[in-house]
Amino acid sequence: MKTMLLFCLCLAFAGTTLAADKKKAKPKEPPRTEANFKKLDKDKDGKLSANEFTENWENPQRGGNVFGMLDKNSDAMLSLKEYLAKTPPKK
């Protein structure tokens, strides 16, 4: 009987933790659309800096890696064309 009660308590606690984690989690990468580009472009200069691009990432380091892959001309800024380009698949 005690084992069953302990099992039920563990299940209840695990479910609460998982539900709370889902609410806190940010999307890994915001969808890359022209509308999102404009929202991210805080200084309205028509380009995204690395800080603007990674600001809403759950993992900013991953965001920085994606930024580097998208910045084809290596000018440390993303144009709309670069931003909308597809990234290569993960290896």
75 pLDDT higher than 80: yes
Helix, strand or coil, per DSSP, at residue 78: strand
Q: Distance (Å, rounded) from C-alpha 50 to C-alpha 47? A: 10
Q: Distance (Å, rounded) from C-alpha 81 to C-alpha 78? A: 8
21 pLDDT higher than 60: no
Burial grade of 37 (CB within 10 A; 0-12, 13-18, 19 or more): buried
Q: Which residue has the higher pLDDT, 84 or 25?
A: 84
Q: pLDDT band for position 76 (50/70/90)? A: very high
22 pLDDT higher than 90: no
Q: pTM higher than 0.95, yes or no?
A: no
The number of C-alpha atoms within 13 Å of 14 and in the hemisphere containing its C-beta is 6
Asked if residues 64 and 38 have their Cβ atoms less than 8 Å apart, the reply is: no
Q: Which residue has the higher pLDDT, 76 or 3?
A: 76
